[in-house]
């Protein structure tokens, strides 16, 4: 098995490579320095030369608010970049893993979204990720679309690191309390991806850590586990305007692989983070 990983510098790409290394898998990690996925000929040549049996596509434009003003770049990376990788996978008959998001849904109601629910993104980032899904679904049979949410990993920026940084200078924080979802630990996710690519369970999967919470509850649990006495006040989404609209309901029903509760994953993350 030879695996090409895009977005190697990101939170998930980093952990995917950790897991592949642990299993002694032959892999190649790329980021924009090695491969610009928006250049069709470069993508085709790179994939043809390496001849991977699996492409795990973690690269994406994920700056949700900036996507509203940088729509052309967001589209190039999330849609065209995916299209070129899909075409390349098609040419060499490689399996393909596409990382998608809870943001493909409209975020209405309180019931967890299933893999059968119709995507209806409310912001441009979500729209491009859904269009990326369609590139995969319409062109590859041996593919896995994995929708994830609220990711955190040891490499790169995330909500946990932001909260801990803020707590160094502030005793009181205000965090949104009406957006509900599942925090997802990229290391747990990487193990799940490894299991998937060794199966023929093709199609759409919702994979997040077990349990749901608001960002506000997430912040409180971060400080509780970190033994930090920080007051976390509530604020509603409507009172905290952002450039991109955020879905209030990011609950997703898990249809396949079950991960441990998010609180346990947080504990594991914090131990590694503090150890470093």
What b/e readout covers 154-172, taking b as 16+ CB neighbours within 10 angstroms? bbbebbbbebbeebeeeee
**Active-site position among 75, 125, 130, 191:** 125
Known active-site residue 125: yes
What b/e readout covers 40-78, taking b as 16+ CB neighbours within 10 angstroms? eeebbebbeebebebbbbbbbbbebebbbeeeeebbbbb
* Residues contacting residue 10 through CB under 8 Å, at least 6 positions apart: 31, 58, 59, 60, 155, 156
In the numeric block, the tokens 């859904």 are attached to: 130
How far is it, in rounded angstroms, from Cα 66 to Cα 70? 6
How far is it, in rounded angstroms, from Cα 149 to Cα 64? 13
- DSSP line for 222-270: HHHHTT---EEEEE-GGGS--SS---SB--B---S----BHHHHHHHHH
Active site members: 125
């Amino acid at each position: 098995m030879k695996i090409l990983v895009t977005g190697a510098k990101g939170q998930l790409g980093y952990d995917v490579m950790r897991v592949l290394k642990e299993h002694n898998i032959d892999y190649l990690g790329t980021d924009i320095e090695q491969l610009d996925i928006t250049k069709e000929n470069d993508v085709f040549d790179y994939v043809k030369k390496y001849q991977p049996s699996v492409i795990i596509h973690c690269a994406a434009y994920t700056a949700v608010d900036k996507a509203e003003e940088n729509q052309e770049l967001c589209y190039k990376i999330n849609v065209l970049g995916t299209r070129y990788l899909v075409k390349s996978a098609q040419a060499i008959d490689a399996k393909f893993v596409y990382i998608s998001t809870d943001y493909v849904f409209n975020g209405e109601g309180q019931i967890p979204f299933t893999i059968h629910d119709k995507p209806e993104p409310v912001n441009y980032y979500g729209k491009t990720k859904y269009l990326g899904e369609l590139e995969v679904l319409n062109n590859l049979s041996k593919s896995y679309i994995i929708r994830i949410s609220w990711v955190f990993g040891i490499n790169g920026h995330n909500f946990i690191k932001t909260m801990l940084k803020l707590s160094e200078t502030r005793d009181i924080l205000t965090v949104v309390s009406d957006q509900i979802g599942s925090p997802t630990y990229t290391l747990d996710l990487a193990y799940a991806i490894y299991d998937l690519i060794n199966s023929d369970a093709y199609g759409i999967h919702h994979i997040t850590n077990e349990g749901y919470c608001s960002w506000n509850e997430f912040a409180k649990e971060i400080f509780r586990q970190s033994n930090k006495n920080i007051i976390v006040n509530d604020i509603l989404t409507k009172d905290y305007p952002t450039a991109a609209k955020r879905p209030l309901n990011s609950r997703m029903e898990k249809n396949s692989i079950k991960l441990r509760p998010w609180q346990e994953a947080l504990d594991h993350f914090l131990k590694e983070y503090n150890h470093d």
